[in-house]
Amino acid sequence: MTDARTYIQGPTRRPSGSPYLRPMETMVRLRNVRKEYGETAALAGVTLDIRPGEAVAVMGPSGSGKSTLLNMVAGLDRPTSGEVVVGGEEITAMGEAALARYRRRRIGMVFQFFNLLDDLPVLENVTLAAQLLGTPRRQALTRAMELLEELGIADRRNAYPVTLSGGERQRVGVARALMNRPALLLADEPTGALDTRSGDQVIDLLLDLNQIGQTLLIVTHDQRLAARCADRVVEVEDGRIATEAAR
């Protein structure tokens, strides 16, 4: 995707940064984040920093708190205590409206089971994210088509998700996540429902994105994904960070 990087991210998100952007040392900053569900502490005090452009894989046993961690960063749920700062904005201090805006503008999310809307064709699934921001239709369509072309699924633009292979659906999921040029791409088991070949395509895609400067936070059980994409693997155990390994 050499020539298309501006399509995916826009020139202002190149790793070197633009002189017009405020320099930012930390893309994601978690301080002592705790999340309790009743008696259960899903997160028992997590502190973590992710630099802009870094690719971090979160691994660990089932029930250890990985998805909860991701949801805290996504602003989908609020910690019981602790601080979450993303792109210099303290999302734990935001009201509901600001948080909704943050989710739409700053975050792209990719899910294990794609979460596409089955009664909308591919193109509409992808443009929806921009429509929610009030992006003019023509502009949204142009961007969506660029992304679909870049991800090799433009010919499926009028297809309905149920007619696509798992790998194609996940590429639609990635296109949708990138629609609003998020500062941060979050993925929860993005290859978890895919066969090896489709999984590899998604891994290649994430790798390409990271190489053009996209910050990634990926929850995964997939050793290949972690080995190929991650600058750093964070192991979560019982709601805590057990080990961190740089690669």
Ligand X SMILES: Nc1ncnc2c1ncn2[C@@H]1O[C@H](COP(=O)(O)OP(=O)(O)OP(=O)(O)O)[C@@H](O)[C@H]1O
Per CB under 6 A, residues contacting ligand X are 37, 40, 42, 60, 62-68
Minimum distance from residue 206 beta carbon to ligand X (Å): 19
Q: Cβ of residue 207: shortest distance to ligand X, in angstroms? A: 23
68 binds, among Mg ion, ligand X, none (CB under 5 to 8 A by kind): ligand X
Q: Which CB, 12 or 115, lies closer to ligand X?
A: 115
- Smallest separation, CB 80 to ligand X (Å): 12
**What character string, x for contact with Mg ion (CB under 5 A) and - otherwise, covers 36-75?**
-------------------------------x--------
Residues 6+ apart with CB under 8 A from 28: 48, 49, 50, 73, 84, 85, 86, 184, 215, 217
User: Minimum distance between the CB of residue 13 and ligand X, rounded to whole angstroms?
Assistant: 28
Tell me, by CB under 5 A, how many residues bind Mg ion.
1
Q: Are 182 and 107 in contact (CB under 8 A)?
A: yes
Instruction: Decide which of ligand X, Mg ion, none touches 37; Cβ closer than 5 to 8 Å per partner kind.
Output: ligand X
* Residue labelled with tokens 């003019």: 136
Q: How far is the CB of 79 from ligand X (least distance, A)?
A: 13
Q: How far apart are CA 34 and CA 206, in angstroms?
A: 29
Q: Which one, 68 or 215, has the nearer CB to ligand X? A: 68
Task: CB nearer to ligand X: give 50 or 147.
Answer: 50
Closest residue by Cα to residue 236 from 78, 91, 30: 30
C-alpha–C-alpha distance, residues 84 and 44, integer Å: 14
C-alpha closest to that of 243 among 55, 28, 59, 42: 59
Decide which of ligand X, Mg ion, none touches 42; Cβ closer than 5 to 8 Å per partner kind: ligand X
Q: Are strands 215-219 and 55-59 parallel, antiparallel or unpaired?
A: parallel
Asked if 82 and 92 count as a contact pair (C-beta separation under 8 A), the reply is yes
Interface residues with Mg ion (CB under 5 A)? 67
